[in-house]
Amino acid sequence: MSSNAEIIQAPGQTMVKAWVKGVTFDPNARQQVVNMAQMPFIHKWIAVMPDVHLGKGATIGSVIPTLNAVIPAAVGVDLGCGMMAAKTNLTASQLPDSLTALRHEIERCVPHGGGPKLRGQRDKGAWSNAPADVQQAWSTLDAGFTALCEKHPFLKNTNNLNHLGTLGTGNHFIEICIDETQQVWVMLHSGSRGVGNRIGTHFIEQAKRDMERQFIQLPDQELAYLREGSEHFQDYVEAVAWAQDFAKANRAVMMQRTLKAMCDVLKLPITAEVEAINCHHNYIRLEHHYGKDVWVTRKGAVSARKGELGIIPGSMGARSYIVRGLGNEESFCSCSHGAGRVMSRTEAKKRVSMAEHLEALQGVECRQDEAVLDETPAAYKPIEQVMAAQNDLVEIMHTLKQVLCVKG
């Protein structure tokens, strides 16, 4: 199989293979990857996906295989963040001319947005009282959470049950899309919410304290790691596994609530099959590559084993893709998780006018206020270029176009 990868290698450090032909690779993100490549436990090389951009802790769009160690900040704090897509029995002709009522009903059924800005304000992004379907989903997570709280009592005071089935903020979304055959899909993006953030933050700080205690010098303190067999390694692996299960359940609850909202508003019987799996793109997993069992950290990357289905969303107003993995071992069987930012949130709000934002979103039913300007399409790489750069990693099965978008 021919490779689209660019090779980056400095003397005395691990190789980097970057699928970045025809796309922007910011110099700061490149340096961040080079720093990561200095770590002594990288297995073979680091793979960089075409949606690569600077991240906190590690480069977003990177695949990091490690032997007997993990870097908590490389995984980040939105543990198990990922996508879910379901193909419905509806066709585009069955959707009403105006989707405003449907958007409002989805927004009513799925809590979204950030927490309170002032003490005493209600958290509109959380449940005040978790409904029955949320409690049912929590029942599969409760025993694991209780066990975690026995080891880490601070987790009792996190947003856990009250964040299950909620969207969050930033680039998290719920979308109604139409594919190339005019079939209607539901697609959504979210992770492990408040409880996952707290788990991730705790172990990032713990790894940093371990480095200080052991007098280990690093090119960047965000590269603090936990060694297999060390005091906190197994605790981290267990906590992350639970958070990833929470994230998957979170997406499943929101999907069912969105489908019910569609039934209620459209007055049609709606069935859906999960054609693209409920897949993480911010996680760790023990995998076998090049003769070794290694911890693979995908920081903004999706598993793309041969025949495996995945989801690569574009920005608001752009195309998204259901893909099938080609099993390219050079990328450790991975692909991008989206388009990738070219502007920071602050920069997007400064550089893109509301008029430009609305023009880019013509034909998409969505909020039209300055609070979502940081998610404007111009803040992201063109998804078509990103897909072209990874045509040796995945094949496109379906091309989706959004007609409705709910943002946090």
Q: How many CB atoms lie within 10 A of CB 143?
A: 10
Cα 385 from chain centre: 20
29, 93, 276, 284, 356 from 84: Cα distances, Å: 28, 24, 7, 18, 29
- Cα(385)–Cα(21) distance, integer angstroms: 9
Residues 184/94, Cβ–Cβ less than 8 Å = yes
Q: Annotated catalytic residue: which of 53, 202, 337, 357? A: 337
| DSSP tag of 374 | G
Structural tokens at position 94: 């069955």
Quick check: is 112 catalytic?
no
CA nearest neighbour of 333 among 21, 44, 53: 44
Percentages (nearest 5) of helix, strand, coil residues in the chain: 35, 25, 40
CA nearest neighbour of 36 among 205, 206, 219, 212: 219
Catalytic residue IDs: 337
